[in-house]
Amino acid sequence: MPNNLDLLKKYDFKFKKSLGQNFLFDSNITDKIVQYSLPLSKTVIEIGPGAGTLTKSILKLNVNKIILIEKDKSLIKLLQNLKEKNNSIEIFNEDALRLPIWKLGNGPREVIANLPYNVSTKILINLLKNSSQFSKLTMMFQKEVANRIIAKPGSKTYSRLSVISQLKTNAKILFDIPDTAFFPKPKVRSSLVQLIPYENKKYNFNFEKMEELTRFVFSKKRKMLRSIFKLKGGSSFLNSISVNPNIRPENLTLEEFCKLEMALRKH
């Protein structure tokens, strides 16, 4: 770890809380992350490479193209130094939330990233919206967020994020990462999640409308569906699409969310 910190000092780098910077310096863990990402796609995109430890693990393998997206300008010189040694690297000094990541490089493309936790959910939703452009997404999240991504109906952690993630991908937690692997040490636990987008559309729904629907129902999650949809006809509306009016949002299956979304579009 001192070598990585010395490298950052060399470039006069200062950690910025506002950017959610907790760098992963344990190369054994970054090597393990890359192993789970094999076989690597034609274009590998890394969001928030930081000091480049994960980048170096990716470069150990035969990578065709690696695109680094780093918002912090003070890290670009350090990453440029890596680029000089490897011409497969392309660097964007941009905000990942404003960049059309799904258009970068040539397909098939994948994302491997230790995401900044303060924007990880927003980044994930942007990628899910365009999931057909990726072969896989292997990304680090706060453990609590990772649990929400994979949560099943009926569980306390089942949420809007669970529904949207699972409608678009097959998602699973690969392993947990100790806080000691990061610097500065985060106050939360972390998990590596892999999301494999469905090749063919598994569920029929409109993404934007599903975002609206899940945001709406989970904001009223203590209420029963008949009460939530009272203005649409309550029980009679829900019975007409074979959805139980006497359950709460956390008990709706993915298929039932799709039935609801389609019915509301037609309503």
Residue range 152-181, pLDDT digits in tens: 999 999 999 999 999 999 999 999 998 888
From 129, 154, 94, 113, select the one nearest 210 (Cα to Cα). Answer: 129
> Percent of the chain scored above 90 by pLDDT?
70
246, with CB counted inside 10 A (0-12, 13-18, 19+), is exposed
161, with CB counted inside 10 A (0-12, 13-18, 19+), is buried
Q: Which two tokens stand for residue 23?
A: 């760098």
User: Where does the pLDDT of residue 76 fall: very low under 50, low under 70, confident under 90, or very high at 90 and above?
Assistant: confident
With the C-alpha atoms ordered 199, 200, 204, 206, is the resulting torsion angle positive or negative?
A: positive
- Residues whose CB is less than 8 angstroms from the CB of residue 210 and which lie 6 or more positions away in sequence, other chains included: 163, 164, 167, 257, 258, 261
CA angle 78, 58, 184 (to 5 degrees): 55
For 228, phi and psi rounded to 5 degrees? -60, -40
Beta bridge partners of 221: none
pLDDT of residue 243: 95
Query: How far, in Å, are 22, 151, 175 from residue 116 at the CA level?
Result: 8, 22, 18
Would you say residue 15 has pLDDT above 70? no
Beta bridge partners of 44: 66, 110
Kindly report the average pLDDT of the chain as a whole number: 89
The pTM for the full model equals 0.89
Cβ–Cβ under 8 Å, residues 186 and 120 = no
DSSP classification of residue 132: G
pLDDT of residue 211: 96
Q: Which amino acid appears at position 215 of this protein?
A: R
Structural domains of the chain sorted by starting position, each given as residue range(s) with its CATH number in brackets: 2-197 (3.40.50.150), 219-266 (1.10.8.100)
Query: CA 149, CA 138: separation in Å to the nearest integer?
Result: 13
Residue range 17-37, pLDDT digits in tens: 544 457 788 889 999 999 999
CB atoms within 10 A of CB 41: 21
Evaluate the omega torsion of the peptide bond into residue 249 and state whether it is cis, within 30 degrees of 0.
Answer: no
From 88, 104, 106, 86, select the one nearest 96 (Cα to Cα). Answer: 104
DSSP 148-166: HHHPPTTSTT--HHHHHHH
CA angle 19, 157, 220 (to 5 degrees): 95
Element at 142 (helix H, strand E):
strand 134-142
